[in-house]
Structure 1
Amino acid sequence: MCVPTYNERTTLPKIVARIRSAVPEADVLVLDDNSPDGTGEIADRLAGQDPQVHVLHRSGKQGLGPAYLAGFAWAQERGYDVVVQIDADGSHQPEQLPDLLHTAEVTGADLVIGSRWVPGGSVHNWPAHRRLLSVGANTYARLVLGIAVRDSTAGFRVYRLAALRRMNTSAVASQGYCFQVDLTVRALEEGLHVVEVPIAFVEREEGTSKMSDAIVREAMVRVGVWGARRRAGQVRRLVGEQRAAWDRSRWQTLRGDEHT
């Protein structure tokens, strides 16, 4: 379980306890970006009390994407088969982890997304503007990128490590929440099996959201660029197919003339 933290001292002990209760066999990795509120020290204390809790201290606030990539690398080095993304603020409910892990097992999915926007999914205690932002961002991603995933910005996920190796995560440069869209697109482009499972998303009751205008701008710009590249690739393939068809037709015509 990869749990990125930045100023989560009040929520981290609760979320770790809930994860350990929901999935007792799982190891928990706290990825702390040198939180000034002492979250890292609390993580160390939890690790000292429980051998299945680990801490990776990072030098500073580098963004959500790099934190998860560090967690993926940590899991790869230790030979895990599956890695989970989950927030430390309680918005992702650990009690739903068994459902996501079971889905990965029975479907053979390479990526399981805990989705707010599929039938059965829900969001609780979110103000209208946050709901509108999330729905709009996911609709934008579907239309621009031509993907069917309903909640590509979701951060509650299960990945197979073998799938991450195929996705070339070393080339990922996304910093904020568009990191989730980036990996979703990479999974789909590799032909991996992606499944969405409905979850109940609960707005955090403590601390402050990390969402900012800069994060939104990054997502809008990057998704737009990816969409343009994707469409350009489709046009190139279509032109190539038409040219190949024309060449075949011309060759068949020439052969017909030779036998006339």
Structure 2
Amino acid sequence: MKITLVIPTYNEAENLPNLLKALFSLPLPDLNVLVVDDNSRDGTGEIAEDLKKTYSGKLDVMHRAGKLGLGSAYIQGFAQLLAGDSQAIGQMDADFSHDPAKVVELARALETSDIALGSRYVPGGSLDKDWPYWRKALSTFGNFYARTILHLPIRDTTGGFRLWRRETLEAMPLERVRSNGYIFQVEMAYVAYKLGFHFTEIPIYFAERRFGQSKMSLRIQIEAALRVWSLRGQYRDLKVINK
């Protein structure tokens, strides 16, 4: 199965080379990566281009004009890959918050499901042990909030470590996905749920980033809280599709 991971980057020069080394060391011979770089000031895009020589034919880079947002990075990445021959398309952070080794388990889970999710909130999953209590509480509440309002059947609604079957993404109205912060993850999960796709959650340990600064902000958190309510109306027309 040809798997391609979409990895958005903005100032990840310290993380990207080590992440790619770890990913391409996995026992997945047909694993590929598409880096979507938002004109990083630290040269991440140029580093990614240079690494294409090391990982010839397995690494591609999309360069964008500026910091255009997480959601649009994934949507553009998905669109490019759906025009190609990838059989599974994944998403993960560039900062080692997601353990690269878990891609193997996600790929195995995708054999019997439509979407495989790395989950912090199923048995065996957890958040960074050094996070303060308030941060863990905020993350837990955010998931409970979205899950309850949207009646989602998954525990981790906001996680960004996912692997999608090609056919799943092809069936989703990606042109209607408008969220551009971390609520993007909730919106994508909700659309898949409304269409009747099957999820499998794989427990993961969500680690604090190794280098660089978090992209989370108050604006992103407010967007997430407000957008959850609007999703129900936006997608009220979606029905379970025949698969």
| TM-score, normalised by the number of residues in structure 1 | 0.85
SS at match of 1:180: helix
1:121 corresponds to 2:125: yes
Q: State the partner residue of 2:16.
A: 12
Q: State the partner residue of 1:98.
A: 104
- Structure-to-structure mapping, 1:196-215, within 5 angstroms: 196-215=201-220
Residue type matched to 2:59 in 1? V
Q: State the partner residue of 2:146.
A: 141
1:82 corresponds to 2:88: yes
Residue type matched to 1:195 in 2? T
Distance 2:116 2:167 in 1: 14
Aligned-pair distance for 1:49? Answer: 2.0
1:219 corresponds to 2:224: yes
SS at match of 1:30: strand
State percent identity of aligned pairs.
44
Distance 2:80 2:134 in 1: 36
Q: Is the Cα contact below 8 Å between 2:116 and 2:162 reproduced in 1?
A: yes
Q: State the partner residue of 1:32.
A: 37
Aligned-pair distance for 1:201? Answer: 1.2
* Structure 2 spans left out of the alignment, 5+ residues: 238-243
CA gap 1:233/1:157 in 2 versus in 1, 3 angstroms: closer
Q: State the partner residue of 2:180.
A: 175
Aligned-pair distance for 1:71? Answer: 1.1
Distance 1:129 1:215 in 2: 17
1:158 corresponds to 2:170: no
Distance 2:38 2:14 in 1: 16
Distance 2:163 2:143 in 1: 19
Aligned-pair distance for 1:122? Answer: 1.2
Distance 1:223 1:63 in 2: 18
SS at match of 2:137: helix
Q: State the partner residue of 2:63.
A: 57
Q: Pick the structure with more helix per residue.
A: 1
Residue type matched to 2:12 in 1? E
Q: Is the Cα contact below 8 Å between 2:143 and 2:157 reproduced in 1?
A: yes
Deviation sequence 1:14-70 (CA, Å, 0-9, x none): 111111112342011111000011110100111122111111111111110100111
CA gap 1:233/1:100 in 2 versus in 1, 3 angstroms: closer
* Structure 1 spans left out of the alignment, 5+ residues: 235-260
Distance 1:153 1:19 in 2: 23
Aligned-pair distance for 1:81? Answer: 1.1
Aligned-pair distance for 1:127? Answer: 2.5
Residue type matched to 2:62 in 1? L
Residue type matched to 2:70 in 1? L
1:110 corresponds to 2:114: yes
Q: Which runs of 4+ in 1 moved over 3 A?
A: none
Q: 1:195 aligns with which of 195, 200, 208?
A: 200
Residue type matched to 2:207 in 1? V
Q: State the partner residue of 1:246.
A: none
Larger Rg: 1
Distance 2:74 2:231 in 1: 21
Distance 1:48 1:129 in 2: 44
Residue type matched to 2:67 in 1? K
Aligned residue-pair number: 230
| TM-score, normalised by the number of residues in structure 2 | 0.91
